[in-house]
Structure 1
Amino acid sequence: MKLFSEIYSTYYSITEKILKRHTVTKAEIADIIRQNGFSESVLFLEPKLTCEDGYGLLKKEDNIYRSILKKEPHIPLTALEKAWLCAVLSDPRSGLFLDTEQKSQLTELLDAKKLYQRNFLTCFDQYSDGDDFHDPQYIQHFRDILSAIHGKKLIKISFQTRKDNRITHYFLPTKIEYSAKNNKFRVYVNRYQKRRIVDSGIINLSQVTLTKLTDITPDSFLAVTDKKKQAKIKILNERNAVNRFMLEFAELEKESVFDEDSGECMVSIKYDEQNENEIIIRLLSFGPVVEVLSPYDFRRKIKERVDRQLALMKK
């Protein structure tokens, strides 16, 4: 049973934002769709909102589109969504964002039975040494870093390296990312020295031993080289591979083109260079239904891994 549709839930949200503006131009509609939707959303959603044979929610008057609604739109939660949210609140990772009292209040407001219990789920192909999401110190570090991201403030972070060296610097964190395979959170940071970015990197939250927020908002820095890499991948429409691929790499920026005649999907993904080994491992889990086409160096690394695995199997 499909509980939610990523596409249609997003389109509902975008349409709600547009209708709340009461009056918008066609350019503003396209801009809202681009900011909140997918790469192809403008092609599909804009005509549905602006054309006469579309949804009929906007009325055109002198190149201005007006909402036909008398009141602001509101999308209420369904009973199924409430039950799902109650299940999400029981996830230990929710404690990183909400304290016990807040979770209790939300559960009371939702007033629904959990859609599922934690013991209903069995994880596979996941490392067993995941982060301790119940650790009060871990929670505090997570919240401090999240606060620094939202406030765009420098934060002092101390962490232990894999070689057991302790490093302490001032960083500007840019985002926190969860790895389902490792069951760990990591933070992307820019390291500052003398009011300038000197380098960037990734720190595992479990390695952080100290965080200290500052009131410093960087106003002068040197730009660092973009370490994003791009790979072009062909996906065969077998064993539900296309949907599985999109779900597996949902967090990555990507563009896709589906060929209905051949049943193949061409996808370009952008990923951080420091995560390349993990991306390779995740791609290999798809087996023969996925082929890396470019760049050559990335394709070569995939081939080397496959060759090593074949050699081990022969032994």
Structure 2
Amino acid sequence: MELFNDYKNRYYRCIQNIINEIYNGKKYTKKDIRKILQDAYLEQEFVLVNEFVNGEFFEFEDEFAKLRIDSNIPIRLNDLEIAYLKMFVEDEEFNKVLDEEILTKLKQKLDKIASLNYNQYWQRENIDKFGDNLDNLEFRNKIIILEKAILNNKFIKYSSKNRKGDVFEDKIGYPYKIEYSIKNNKYRLIVFCDDRAIKINIESITKVEILEDKDFSSMDKSNLQNKKIKEFINNKKNIDKPIVLKIQDNKNTLDRCFNLFSAYDKRYYYDDNNLILNIYYHDFDEAEIVRDILSLGKSVIVLEPKKIRDKVVSRILRNFGR
């Protein structure tokens, strides 16, 4: 078996993920690595497991794996993913929220790739008319500025106004991600600010600028790039403990789930004829996710984790006055 031929080996992604997660700061012992490989049914390749764990990739300090080479493994797209990207590049709405320079590079790289006609796969309908308007140049510019900050690992200074009318002036934060909610046609920013991660509607941001190194004193930069931000970056999601939902697919429940949870990474599969949906979330998403789960009624059962299941049960009991 060719262990590192990503075209011939179905375990390539599993091993790639281990190396990249260690590179990004996650801690793994030999026992942890063996369990991941065994869970992926690599225990049948016992010799290869030993070679991988004890080979040239790692050295172990205080029982934790450390990469011998200071590099990750770039993620390679398969042919279908590349065609899918070409489809988005050709989409007018997508073009509105992408930096012109990046868009030009993508079009050049994808020029000879066969295109997928997205009209064969989905159509836009029931778009919230009170959602974000991408034809608004000021709004689009805010998204492009935030995209540049995220891609270049830059801090931002921004001001915003929430629904209650509260104004927040000149806040300094570390932007992590822009997400889009199909449910309400809204773009939102996840930003680490004031020692916590928050999610705000981009529409509510009144001004934003990218901060360069020269904008900070050495003390300012040291305080901003503190342990809490590093922990947030290195532990971005509950990867090991996603929310697991069992779905009874009546009344278009599956479609409603993908609509409600459009902004989250997820996967679904069948297990003993049960439809299972895994949702990978941040801790600060909990309240919103619990609210959305409740809106699905009895068609959805929360299997894991216990803390989310308990919160859903608590809300139901409270609504019934118990």
1:172 aligned residue (171, 174, 180): 174
Deviation of 1:115 (Å): 0.6
TM-score under structure 2 length normalisation? 0.58
Q: Distance in 2 between matches of 1:174 and 1:289?
A: 33
Q: Deviations over 1:53-112 (max 9, x none)?
A: xxxxxx99x9789xxxxxxxx97746x964872355214133212429728945981475
Give runs of aligned pairs for residues 239-258 of structure 1, distance below 5 A.
239=250, 249=261, 252=264
Check whether the contact 1:82–1:110 (CA below 8 A) recurs between aligned residues: no
Counterpart residue identity of residue 191, structure 2: V
1:137–1:118: structure 2 CA closer, same or farther, 3 Å change rule? farther
Contact (CA 8 Å) 2:159, 2:206: kept in 1 or not?
yes
2:91 aligned partner: 90
Q: Which residue of 2 aligns with 1:123?
A: 125
Aligned to 1:210: 207
Aligned residues: 263
Cα 1:186–1:87 shift into 2, 3 Å: closer
Residues 261-272 of structure 1 correspond to what in structure 2 (within 5 A)?
263=274, 265=276, 270-272=281-283
The aligned residue for residue 147 of structure 1 is 148
Query: Which secondary structure does the structure 2 equivalent of 1:109 belong to?
Result: coil
Could you tell me which residue of structure 2 aligns to residue 47 of structure 1? 42
| Deviation of the 1:292 alpha carbon | 3.4
1:276 alignment counterpart: 287
Q: What is the TM-score normalised by the length of structure 1? A: 0.59
User: Could you say which residue in structure 1 is the equivalent of 2:222?
Assistant: 219
- Determine helix, strand or coil for the equivalent of 2:189: strand
Does the 8 Å contact 2:181/2:262 carry over to 1?
no
1:86 and 1:107 in contact (8 A); partners too: no
Q: Structure 1 residues 175 and 237 mapped into 2: Cα distance closer, same or farther (>3 Å)?
A: same
Q: Is 1:298 equivalent to 2:312 in the alignment?
A: yes
Say if 1:50 and 1:99 are closer, same or farther in 2 by CA, change over 3 A: farther
Identity of aligned pairs, percent? 18
The DSSP-based 3-state class of the residue aligned with 1:178 is strand
Q: 1:144–1:213: 8 Å Cα contact kept in structure 2?
A: yes
Which runs of no fewer than 5 residues in structure 2 stay unpaired?
22-32, 58-75
CA displacement, residues 126-154 of structure 1 (integer Å, 9 cap, x when unaligned): 63322122322222221222222233322
Separation in structure 2 between the aligned mates of residue 120 and residue 247 of structure 1, nearest angstrom: 13
Q: Which structure 1 segments of 5+ residues have no match? A: 1-13, 20-25, 53-58, 66-73, 192-196, 309-315
Amino acid at match of 1:47: L
Task: Show the 5 A alignment for 1:90-109.
Answer: 90-99=91-100, 102=104, 105-106=107-108, 109=111
Is the 1:159–1:167 contact (alpha carbons within 8 Å) kept by the matching residues of 2? yes
Larger radius of gyration: 1
For 1:104 and 1:63, how far apart are their aligned partners in 2?
Answer: 38
- Separation in structure 1 between the aligned mates of residue 43 and residue 90 of structure 2, nearest angstrom: 36
